[in-house]
A and B are shown apart, each in its own frame.
Chain A
Amino acid sequence: MALEFSMRFDLKVALRYLLSNRLQTALLIGGVAIAVTVFTFNAALINGLAEFQIDRVVGSSAHVTIEPAMPRPAVAPAADGAERLVVSQTALERREQIKEWRSVERIIDTLPGVTGVSHNIIGTGLVTRGEQTLPVSLKGVEPGRLAAIAPIDDNIVAGEARLGLNDVLIGRKLANDLGIGVGQPIFITSNQGRERTLTVRGLYATGVDSLDARLAYVNLDTARVMFDLPEGLTEIEIKLADIYAARAVARQLADTTGLEAVAWMDKNQRLREALEGQGNSGSIIKMFTLITIVVGVASALLLTTFRRRPEIGIMRSFGISQRFVLSVFMLQGALIGIIGSLVGCFLGWGFSTLLASAGEGARRLPVDPSLGQYDVALLLAAAASIAAALWPARAASRIDPVEAISQ
């Protein structure tokens, strides 16, 4: 008995009401819990899927790519309000390259969180083997930094990840298309018209078809010759510890070097669109779970209010304030919301964990139980329950005692 002296009396009344109709209370808490389970599982799935997709893309590509600045034609200042039309013909401009890459590297060295840098010359060419000719992207990299961006050394399926001046690494699919194996020579013509015979040193398989069929790695010095770029680079690739810092790093690099610097999320528009689409559909599901909570809690509490009309009338008759009555019903909504969403978070986490460990390989759902947004779910579900209680609580506090008592 003495235990209850400090408990708020409105809370005591709210609890007593919830406990007096255990079935309804259990159903309400269950309803909120199911909604929150859906919410958190949905978050764990959508966010896990996004992480999975990002990881696949970002794991084997650069986080920030530095490219030559687009040449800006000199334009005379126009008179106020006058329109300027500038026509420039890119093909006639000088070839784009990063000549000042050594000073850029010094700037990159000062940036925190950079885990890898690759100096590249990218160009196109044709591979010829017997009667076959196929288009190919040539990527010239420094042999020591071969795996700075993509884990090519891990993806080698035949031969070795070594790039001497006369070596080339090609994808397994390209090798199949050409009918060629490790140790055999191929003839390559660059788009600058330079020709070279290189030896296939290794075959890799990244799992991405467009890479495995189209990309060939060569030594940077070999590329300099083939693309006629004795000094410059065509791009610098950077890998970061925190992939979400890419935009900030890109902006900083663009500002300090005057070159183009593009973050991975801006380079992969399709990925971004896919992520946004998934995010939006996830948001719609979350919104519906919240609406379910509001409708369920509001209708049940409204019924409770109606059933307890005479009691509320009696309370009002001995001078219990409208605020007290309001508080009793708001607290019922809050208690249902908090308990229900706690149970729901627990269920959502359990369900996600169960599914994350079920299935194997590609059949496994990319659910990540740690991305269930439990804090958001807890907050929103509790807020939704309290909001849902507002209307019934106001109705309860405005009950006319005389009418209610004579009922």
Chain B
Amino acid sequence: MTDTQLPLLEVSDIRKIFVDRDFQTPVLKGINFTLQRGEMVAMLGPSGSGKSTLLSILGTLMRPTSGSFRMLGRELTTLAEKELSDFRNQQIGFIFQYHHLLPDFTALENAMFPHAGRLWRETRTGRERAAMLLERVGLKDRMNYRATRLSGGQKQRVAIARALMNQPALVLADEPTGNLDRENADQAFALMTEIQRETGSTFLLSTHDRELAERCERRIYIQGGVVATAPAHRMPLRVIAGEVAAVIDHTGGSPPSDDSRQRA
């Protein structure tokens, strides 16, 4: 990462207010941060802090109420639905807490779905890439199994392969290990880190798992709908609960005391 390199993602003052009849629920209250190319960043914060909403917005599945974000130098908040869909297909990969595989399709078909769905047909290149990815996540002998016949850990590994299918610039993972036991969670995480290093993709993953977050290059703390932009060593050590909302930790030091895992 050099200073002259354009950041992959620049998020400025993203706000999201959910409106239900007369009730307005502000979830994001002005989010600012940037992601550099090739970074692996963990996003921490208590449940309901807006992590999932932020991931949905960055993944172009949801539009922010206000604010803007640029990815690869392109302003995404103003794109039309069809352009967003294409952009999402080419540049963004999703990994969810629940694998969300398509149950009627095999591991191979699931992995190549983003590719075949874009082209409206299966191609040899698509099939070969999907097979290569499944081999990479250790499912070479499970490629033609229906999704329903795979174990939880295997399903999540197929989901990782699927997210990487179209060689996206950014992979967004929402609690990717949240539904796995320790062993499978470690395995899946290790896989993501390795692949991230190999491909040079940028990973932004939300997690409740402190241990895994520690293993990322950088951590973003979200609470009450905002992110602090200063690195942790410059932040005041005394955190007044509910006032200082979030801290970005560049050093790997200790996060705020109100860690979500203890709350949850």
Seen from chain A, the residues whose Cβ lies within 8 Å of a Cβ on chain B are 4-10, 12, 16-17, 19-20, 310-311, 314-322, 324, 401-402, 405-406
B105 and A318 within 8 A (CB) = no
A316 and B85 within 8 A (CB) = yes
Kindly report which residue of chain B lies nearest to residue A328, judged by CB atoms.
Answer: B117
Q: How far is the CB of A398 from chain B (nearest CB, A)?
A: 10
A317 and B122 within 8 A (CB) = no
A7 and B122 within 8 A (CB) = yes
A9 and B122 within 8 A (CB) = yes
B92 and A10 within 8 A (CB) = no
B89 and A318 within 8 A (CB) = yes
Judged by a CB distance under 8 angstroms, whether B181 is at the interface is: no
B61 and A9 within 8 A (CB) = no
Interface mask (B100-137 → A, CB under 8 Å = 1, otherwise 0): 10111100000001101111111110010000000000
| A6 CA / B121 CA spacing, docked (Å) | 7
| A318 CA / B86 CA spacing, docked (Å) | 9
| A9 CA / B122 CA spacing, docked (Å) | 6
Judged by a CB distance under 8 angstroms, whether B62 is at the interface is: yes
Query: Between A and B, how many residue pairs show CB distances below 8 Å?
Result: 86
Residues of B within 8 A of A7 (CB): 121-122
Kindly report which residue of chain B lies nearest to residue A312, judged by CB atoms.
Answer: B102
Residue from the set B92, B117, B163 with the largest chain A CB neighbour count within 10 Å: B117
Judged by a CB distance under 8 angstroms, whether B182 is at the interface is: no
Residues of A within 8 A of B122 (CB): 4-5, 7, 9, 12
A8 and B121 within 8 A (CB) = yes
Q: How far is the CB of A206 from chain B (nearest CB, A)?
A: 67
Given A8-B121, A402-B56, A319-B96 contact (CB < 8 Å): no
Judged by a CB distance under 8 angstroms, whether B93 is at the interface is: yes
Residue tally, chain B, CB below 8 Å to A: 37
B90 and A9 within 8 A (CB) = no
Judged by a CB distance under 8 angstroms, whether B69 is at the interface is: no
Kindly report which residue of chain B lies nearest to residue A321, judged by CB atoms.
Answer: B85
Closest A-B pairs by Cβ, 8 of them: A319-B89, A319-B88, A320-B117, A318-B114, A20-B104, A9-B116, A314-B100, A16-B104
| A17 CA / B124 CA spacing, docked (Å) | 23
| A317 CA / B52 CA spacing, docked (Å) | 14
| A316 CA / B96 CA spacing, docked (Å) | 14
Residues of B within 8 A of A19 (CB): 104
| A319 CA / B166 CA spacing, docked (Å) | 10
A8 and B120 within 8 A (CB) = yes
| A17 CA / B103 CA spacing, docked (Å) | 10
Q: How far is the CB of A23 from chain B (nearest CB, A)?
A: 15
A-B contact list, 11 entries, CB within 8 Å: A5-B121, A5-B127, A6-B121, A7-B121, A7-B122, A17-B104, A311-B102, A317-B61, A317-B94, A319-B90, A321-B117
Q: How far is the CB of B85 from chain A (nearest CB, A)?
A: 5
Judged by a CB distance under 8 angstroms, whether B87 is at the interface is: yes
A319 and B81 within 8 A (CB) = no
Partner of B92, one of A5, A316, A319: A319
Q: How far is the CB of A48 from chain B (nearest CB, A)?
A: 46
Residues of B within 8 A of A310 (CB): 100
Q: How far is the CB of A14 from chain B (nearest CB, A)?
A: 11
Given contacts A5-B121, A310-B100, 4 further A-B contacts (CB under 8 A): A8-B120, A318-B93, A318-B113, A318-B163
A315 and B113 within 8 A (CB) = yes
Seen from chain B, the residues whose Cβ lies within 8 Å of a Cβ on chain A are 52, 56, 59, 61-62, 81-82, 85-90, 92-94, 96, 100, 102-105, 113-114, 116-124, 127, 162-163, 166
| A198 CA / B111 CA spacing, docked (Å) | 99
Residues of B within 8 A of A316 (CB): 61, 85
A405 and B104 within 8 A (CB) = no
Residues of B within 8 A of A9 (CB): 116-117, 119-122
Residues of B within 8 A of A319 (CB): 85-90, 92, 114, 117-118, 166
| A10 CA / B163 CA spacing, docked (Å) | 20
Residues of A within 8 A of B119 (CB): 9
Q: How far is the CB of A309 from chain B (nearest CB, A)?
A: 12
Kindly report which residue of chain A lies nearest to residue B81, judged by CB atoms.
Answer: A322
B120 and A10 within 8 A (CB) = yes
| A6 CA / B85 CA spacing, docked (Å) | 24
Residues of B within 8 A of A317 (CB): 59, 61, 88, 94
| A322 CA / B117 CA spacing, docked (Å) | 11
B89 and A324 within 8 A (CB) = no
| A95 CA / B136 CA spacing, docked (Å) | 105
Residue from the set A317, A319, A401 with the largest chain B CB neighbour count within 10 Å: A319
Residues of B within 8 A of A10 (CB): 120
| A290 CA / B240 CA spacing, docked (Å) | 69
Partner of B96, one of A4, A8, A17, A405: A405
| A311 CA / B117 CA spacing, docked (Å) | 13
A402 and B94 within 8 A (CB) = no
Kindly report which residue of chain A lies nearest to residue B172, judged by CB atoms.
Answer: A317
Residue from the set B62, B82, B85, B105 with the largest chain A CB neighbour count within 10 Å: B85
Q: How far is the CB of A21 from chain B (nearest CB, A)?
A: 9
Given A4-B122, A7-B121, A9-B117, A318-B104 contact (CB < 8 Å): no
B121 and A315 within 8 A (CB) = no
A314 and B118 within 8 A (CB) = no
Residues of A within 8 A of B86 (CB): 319, 321
| A324 CA / B94 CA spacing, docked (Å) | 19
Residues of B within 8 A of A324 (CB): 117, 120
Residues of B within 8 A of A16 (CB): 104-105
| A6 CA / B102 CA spacing, docked (Å) | 21
Given A9-B117, A319-B114, A401-B100 contact (CB < 8 Å): no
| A310 CA / B100 CA spacing, docked (Å) | 8
Residues of B within 8 A of A406 (CB): 52
Residue from the set B92, B102, B119 with the largest chain A CB neighbour count within 10 Å: B102
| A8 CA / B162 CA spacing, docked (Å) | 20
Kindly report which residue of chain A lies nearest to residue B96, judged by CB atoms.
Answer: A405
Partner of A5, one of B81, B89, B124, B166: B124
